[in-house]
Amino acid sequence: MERVGDFLELIGHDLSMDVLMCLDDPSDIARASSVSHSWRRFVIAKSFYKKLCIKRFPEISCFTHVTEICDSMEPIEVGASNYIEWECLERDHRVYARLARALTSPRQMKDRLLEAINASSTDTYPEESIVNTLYPNDNRVDGRLSYWSSKGNIDPEVSETLTYRLTSKLCVVNEIKIQPFRAFFQHRHPTYPAKAVRFKMGHSKTLLGRTNNMMDGIPSVQRSADDDFIWTYVSSKFPMRQEYRLQAFKLPQPVLCIGGILQIELLGMVQKQEMDGLYYVRVRQVQVKGRPLSRAFDVGTLDFARKCVLKYSAHAPITASGGGATGWPSFATSIKERRAARVWNRAMQNIWHGSDSDEEEVA
């Protein structure tokens, strides 16, 4: 068989970019980078793992830097020399490769990944606090049903917000469930839903500890949420039914919540309370369906520039979502990937020469 040249050189780097950008599986990128030294440099230099992560979760584009915590080494700064710049590219390649595997993990989803931070208003505090929305549906507080209630408003177009913290600064969120409250103790048992809901996800501007919340038992001074948070994702509006049930709002595609903050916007009010003639929105329960990433990943800021940083700790406990292995599993995986790389290379050569034979399946 006549020896062919490098596939990347034959079709050019621009077309090679278009071809390799069609890869949707992290394992395929690993196999491509194992074909040869030139392929590995090409994959690293063009940041294919990062591009794959952004393609799946556009929110990742907010990361401007990557740090890798390993043996107490300080993060490498780009620009000092060509060697250091290449070291930074290799570091980003490693971290985003692990992130890509974590994002494609088949781990099961979990509910109630929440902790209450604040509500834009509360009618009677603490009896009608946002904290009540985290309790199971049959839970009672001091013998009465638990729920959150806004203050009464003359204008039904007024919006309210409920802000929560997820269990991890990096969570994949698929669905949010909200149950409006029905006042069985009022005439005709009215339900108090919003006209529509919208969801925001992001992080605090400092990413240090907790933002101002209700930990001391006193609501924080009301102000715009944008004073404290940066939103990396904002959903479209979802209409809310005037029904007393747990209503599921499934996102068009999974969202990576960067920073672990979820805000629910309750847009407009439907029900007027007979006793005072004011409009209210009341929520019985909130649930979130999603999963946290491995504890090896974290989010931070760069100095005081408020730039979002993806952190990876090589010594953090590795879970099923984090990927990675040591010892014999790592060796076995490397052998499998090398074999797959050879299969990949033969398949590329068959495509280049227009072979009519069936393409061999890549393991």
What is the pLDDT at residue 114?
76
* Mean pLDDT lowest among 98-107, 259-268, 310-319, 336-345: 336-345
pLDDT per residue as tens digits for the range 162-213: 999 998 899 999 999 999 999 988 999 999 999 999 999 999 877 644 444 5
DSSP class of residue 19 equals H
Average pLDDT, the chain: 78
Q: Of 136, 127, 47, which Cα lies nearest the Cα of 88?
A: 47
What integer is the mean pLDDT of 65-87? 68
What is the pLDDT at residue 174?
93
pLDDT exceeds cutoff 50 at 363:
no
Structural domain boundaries in the chain: 7-106+297-352, 114-292
Rama region for 268: left / alpha / beta (φ>0; ψ in -120 to 50; rest): left
Dihedral, CA of residue 352, residue 354, residue 356 and residue 359, to nearest 10: 20
Distance between CA atoms of residues 336 and 18, nearest Å: 26
Q: Does domain 114-292 have CATH number 3.40.309.10?
A: no
The angle that helices 26-33 and 82-103 make with each other, rounded to 10 degrees, is 150
How far apart are the two ends of the chain, measured CA to CA in Å?
25
Distance between CA atoms of residues 155 and 285, nearest Å: 24
pLDDT per residue as tens digits for the range 224-235: 456 789 899 999
pLDDT exceeds cutoff 80 at 253:
yes
| pTM exceeding 0.85 | no
